[in-house]
Amino acid sequence: MGLAATLLTGCGEQASDAPEKVAGEAAPVPGDSSEDSSRKESGASPSSSSRARDGGSEDSGKKKSGSSGKSEGADSSGGQGGSGGGAPEVGACKTSGLAFSTSPGMAQGSLLVNLENTTATACTMHGFPGVDLQSAAGSMNAARNGLAAPTVRVGPGESTRFTLHYPPNDSGGSGLNVTSLVVTPPNETSSQTLPVSINLPVSDSTDSGVTVGPVGAGK
């Protein structure tokens, strides 16, 4: 009876202790589970990384928009700077502002008529001058030779020229003596008379054979 009581008492104590031990081992402690910790870490990482990516994209977008705005502003300011203040317009040369002279041409039967700008400002000429040849027999006009006419800019004290071509008198006769030229610059109505000494062959043709080139072209 005493042994039986002892056995029963020991079994009773083991039985009473077992449920507490099992319950203590099986009951999970909130917040200490490794699975919960992994969930928290994995859940926090995507949200923080996504916020970092979003923030980086916003910052980069702001930087790009800021840099493009500066370049556009620089371009616009440069454009405004380039559009300000143009060169003054150069007017046409006037007869009153030119000094006239002649010199021999490079070829036989050619005469250069020089036009010097005597004013304090630059001027331009474009086209053919008018040239009348004066002789004892009357006046004749020089025909245009058909060359392209450039626009010539003549600064103060500078000169330009045109060429008069005429047939030399090789006939052996006395010919026709031209004593002066009446020159009218392109697009002008006032003329200047120059003394010359040109001997032309006498011909029954109405064409004198005298031609004039545009100002600034040829020799």
Q: What is the pLDDT of residues 120-176, one digit of tens each?
A: 999 999 999 999 999 998 999 999 998 999 999 999 999 999 999 999 898 878 899
In Å, what is the CA distance from 159 to each residue of 3, 106, 124? 149, 18, 11
Confidence (pLDDT) at 63? 44
Residue 216 CB burial class (10 angstroms; 0-12, 13-18, ≥19): buried
CA gap 192, 136 in Å, rounded: 19
Confidence (pLDDT) at 160? 97
Confidence (pLDDT) at 76? 38
Strands (DSSP E) contained in the chain are 98-104, 110-117, 123-126, 130-135, 138-141, 143-144, 151-154, 159-165, 176-184, 192-200, 211-212
Order of strands, edge to edge, in the sheet holding 110-117?
98-104, 110-117, 159-165, 211-212, 143-144
Chain mean position to CA 99: 38
CA gap 25, 17 in Å, rounded: 12
- Cα torsion at 92, 195, 149, 213 (round to 10°)? 170
DSSP secondary structure string for all residues of 89-129: PPPBPPGGGEEEEEEE-SSTTEEEEEEEE-SSS-EEEESPP
pLDDT digit string (tens) for the chain, length 219 residues: 444 444 444 444 444 454 454 444 544 545 544 455 444 444 444 444 444 444 444 444 444 444 334 333 334 333 344 444 566 688 999 999 999 999 999 889 999 999 999 999 999 999 999 999 999 989 999 999 989 999 999 999 999 999 999 998 988 788 999 999 999 999 999 999 999 999 999 877 667 899 999 999 865
Confidence (pLDDT) at 204? 72
Confidence (pLDDT) at 173? 83
- Work out the widest C-alpha separation in the chain, in whole angstroms: 183
DSSP secondary structure string for all residues of 141-154: EPEE--PPPPEEEE
Confidence (pLDDT) at 49? 43
